[in-house]
Amino acid sequence: MFIATPAKPGSISPKSRWSFFVATFEQFPSFNLVMRILLNVSIPHEQFNAAVRDGSVGAKLRRILDEIKPEAVYFTEQHGKRSCILIVDLPDASKIPSLAEPWFLTFNADVELKVVMSPEDLAKAGLDELGKKWA
């Protein structure tokens, strides 16, 4: 699981904020795979309420979703906060900021990124062989 939270203004440079994520993915340069990622976005009440009150929330959400182009998106509640769950493709680690920064900058949201598998991906994982090897 990769967890990203917005830094306090001026406390960390935008480039270094992502150095952990880039290093994690770049440890495996031979892999040229598109990863399916679950983005779990938690939006603070104040920023979202302000956008609802001033009538800009729809345009802000539309702009983010048009840019990210998720495979699927669901709006829900988690731990008493407005939340958004998205499934997106990650072609390479350098795209992580383009997935999270719109949420950070627009709503001061917290964003969690998790690599996920489809049932087809899981079927190709070789769990039976792994079980025999490690049991």
pLDDT of residue 34: 82
- Cα distances (Å, whole numbers) of residue 17 to 13, 54, 92: 6, 31, 17
Helix (H) or strand (E) holding 81: strand 81-90
Tokens 């994520």 appear where? Answer: 21
pLDDT of residue 2: 46
pLDDT of residue 135: 87
pLDDT of residue 23: 46
Which residues of the chain have a pLDDT value below 70?
1-32
- Strands 72-78 and 2-4 turn out to be unpaired
CATH pick for 2-134 out of 1.10.3720.10, 3.30.365.10, 3.30.70.920, 3.90.1640.10: 3.30.70.920
Question: What's the pTM value of the predicted model, to 2 decimals?
Answer: 0.72
| Residues 36-68 pLDDT 10s | 999 999 999 999 999 999 999 999 999 999 999
